[in-house]
Amino acid sequence: MDARDTEFLQKTGSAFAESMASVFSMLTGREFQLKAAPGELVDAAGTAALQEGTSVLVKANYQKGLSGTIIFSLPLKEGTILVDLMLGGDGAPSEELVGDSKDALAETFNQVMGSANQTLSDLAGETFAISNVEILAMAPEASAFEEQLGQGAFQNIALATTQDSLSTTIHLLLPDLLLQQLKRKLGFGELQAAPPPEEVPTASAAQAPSGGSSPAQARHQAPVAAGPMHDSGNLELLLDIQLPVVVRMGQTEMQMGELLKLTPGSILELNRSADAPVELLVNGKLIAKGEVVVVDGNFAFRITEIDTRAARIRSLA
């Protein structure tokens, strides 16, 4: 493994380790620490040996930016402890993962993927998104893993996970096809060698050209450095790009246990006073502020504050 591969795996592992630590800590109200180890290759049968006893596979399918399935492997016991902590318990283990517990773990990794994909998207300059998260309980049999994962090779990044009542290793498994896509998107794929620069006469050579040219002729022949060219048409290429627009009235944070207790009629208090302006976000960036109005029976947004055109373009870069 060369230095570029090592750097790529470090960036990828760190992105998921930081996202998991943040999401786990937020949902449980306890501090989690995760550390990514260097990657290693395993086959589908080898993934069965990553955990002792029954394990849980978390599969997330990419639908935007990348194509393929990313997989997490964790022990069933520690998975149920994690879910119990999220539901407000003391971390009691369980022998199975079903019902609300299974849904809670799926939503947890959905948030992990959302956070990690945001980090990777920022690095790549392109949006990555998944479509769904699937939770599978797996017996420690190589044939079961081969049937579920196929015969290909995986890059395994071990994520050491620690908390006061939980210590385990979550394995991040990247199929080779997905791995190669991600490497190219992040700029770690094979790069074509740049063509050698054309030789330019030096000032001393230009002053004494062959054939007895005069100094004035030499100065005329010497290359002149040109300033950067600005093509106003470049901006036109961007004007048809579609961007997500969100009107945000406020936000709040809550534990997974509180989320599962919500029923029709429940009230969520937001972090914004009733008379505060509503925010307009484009591609996740604050662009303007205003107020919600009604137009022809539909909600609408009236802008009261907005950045300059140049500032808006810079904020979306």
pLDDT in tens, 135-181: 999 888 888 888 888 877 899 999 999 998 889 999 999 999 999 99
Q: Is the model more confident about 34 or about 259? A: 34
On the CB side of 254, CA atoms within 13 Å amount to 14
Residue reference for tokens 């907005």? 306
Q: Summarize pLDDT for 67-87 with one digit per residue, the tens.
A: 999 999 999 999 999 999 988
Instruction: Find residue 300's DSSP bridge partners.
Output: 293
Whether the model pTM is above 0.85: no
Whole-number Å distance between alpha carbons of 59 and 297: 42
Neighbours of 157 (CB within 10 A): 22
Q: What interhelical angle do 3-28 and 99-124 show, nearest 10?
A: 140
Nearest alpha-carbon partner for 46 in 172, 136, 153, 158: 153
pLDDT band at 119 (very low <50, low <70, confident <90, very high): very high
Indicate the average pLDDT of the chain: 81
pLDDT digits (tens, 9 = 90+) for 23-70: 999 888 899 999 999 888 998 888 888 988 899 999 999 999 999 999
pLDDT at 235 over 70: no
Distance CA(154)–CA(69), nearest Å, equals: 11
The full set of domain ranges for the chain reads 3-185, 243-252+270-317
Please state the rounded mean pLDDT for residues 263-290. Answer: 85
Supply φ then ψ for residue 12, to 5 degrees.
-65, -50
pLDDT of residue 237: 57
Predicted pLDDT at 191 = 38
Are 60 and 132 in contact by the 8 Å Cβ rule? The answer is yes
Rounded to an integer, what distance in angstroms lies between the CA atom of residue 145 and that of residue 211? 78
C-beta of residue 121 within 8 angstroms of C-beta of residue 19: no
Angle (CA) 310 312 313, round 5°: 65
CB neighbour list of residue 217: distance below 8 Å, 6 or more residues apart: 209
Strand partners, 21: none
Tokens 């997989």 locate to 71
Token match 């740049």: residue? 194
The answer to whether domain 3-185 and domain 243-252+270-317 are alike in fold is: no
> What is residue 77's predicted lDDT score, i.e. its pLDDT?
93
The burial class, CB within 10 Å (0-12 / 13-18 / 19+), for 226 is exposed
3-185, which class in CATH?
A: alpha beta
Q: For tokens 């890059």, what's the residue?
A: 155
- Closest listed residue to residue 160, CA positions, set 74, 255, 263: 74
Residue that wins the pLDDT comparison between 196 and 80 = 80
* Angle at the Cα of 25 from the Cα atoms of 19 and 29, rounded to 5 degrees: 160
Q: How confident is the model at residue 230 (pLDDT cuts 50, 70, 90)?
A: very low
Can you give the pLDDT at residue 143? 86
From the CB of residue 54, how many other CB atoms can be counted at a distance below 10 Å? 16
For domain 243-252+270-317, say whether CATH 2.30.330.10 is its number.
yes
Looking at per-residue pLDDT, the higher value among 115 and 272 belongs to: 115
